[in-house]
Homo-oligomer: A and B are copies of this chain.
């Protein structure tokens, strides 16, 4: 039974839309993972840590404790990372279902490209930072693209 199910899924995957989804999803997930490295970079250069074991190499007692602190740049990157999670998780799920719902390739590519572009712009807008409404608009564009894909999923497959 599970083999039968797997075969059906396989048939679906003969599908340029699916591999376009794969490409853009991997791009936005890698972009999100980059936020971890940027956070680590700022934590180390700003010497702003949160776990006592992370400052052990700076010595013992008070000399190390002063590095257990928050830093504005670290917090900014962390907010950008969380915003990525909040927006890329819906894209991951809704985008997959959208890719399997039979959209036109050109329409699907438009959705994926705009979403990926908006999230990359959002990161620049957050980290530089650019004046508002740069960050707000880039966030909203990704949001609307996701809603548009959800609408297509519901139109094709609503099964309550």
Q: Which residues of A contact B (CB under 8 A)?
A: 1-20, 22-23, 25-26, 29-30, 32-33, 35-36, 50-51, 53-54, 56-57, 76, 79, 81-82, 85-90, 92-94, 97, 100-102, 104-105, 129-132, 135, 139, 143, 146-147, 150, 153-154, 156-160
Contact = CB atoms under 8 A, between A and B. Distances in A.
B100 A12 contact: yes
Contacts of A129: 51, 53
Q: How many copies of this chain?
A: 3
A155 to B, nearest CB: 10
Contacts of A23: 153-154, 157-160
A68 B114 CA distance: 31
Question: Which of the listed residues A5, A81, A130 has the most CB atoms from chain B within 10 Å of its own CB?
Answer: A5
